[in-house]
Structure 1
């Protein structure tokens, strides 16, 4: 699924965190949990809508979430 998105796609609009930044946190900085991603990138630390679909209460739903990225990068 990640291949559908440009590396510069902004996953977290509040903190301006891109897909590339989140993937690098997982691959190069050993992020293994959503909390690790938040600590390393600050993604999902404001409104939190980008973490997982169940927590997305925004008017416009996200196209991809940190949870999806973590799962796909770690488990393929």
Structure 2
């Protein structure tokens, strides 16, 4: 995953940033559901969850799933 500014808004519907998502993914057993529960990202239009659910005209540059997977790769090292 390319580097994104922590202020980049991943979820425009709920104004959730990369920083907000990074805060919650450090919790044990974090998954997309937990990200949604704790940040409300992806609970409205769902375009920000993953590339496969992005049916918007303007595609997101990074998705919740990308950020989560990047974190998992780094801790599994």
* Length-normalised TM-score, structure 1: 0.90
Q: Which runs of 4+ in 1 moved over 3 A?
A: none
User: 1:50/1:6 Cα in 2 relative to 1: closer, same or farther (>3 Å)?
Assistant: same
Per the alignment, residue 71 of structure 1 pairs with 69
Pair 1:13-2:5 in alignment: no
Pair 1:43-2:2 in alignment: no
- Which whole-Å deviations, capped at 9, do the CAs of 1:19-43 have from their partners, x for residues lacking one? 000001011x446110000000000
Per the alignment, residue 53 of structure 1 pairs with 51
C-alpha distance in 1 between matches for 2:28 and 2:37: 12
Structure 1, unaligned runs of 5 or more = none
C-alpha distance in 1 between matches for 2:12 and 2:49: 12
Structure 2, unaligned runs of 5 or more = none
* Length-normalised TM-score, structure 2: 0.89
Cα RMSD, aligned residues only: 1.2
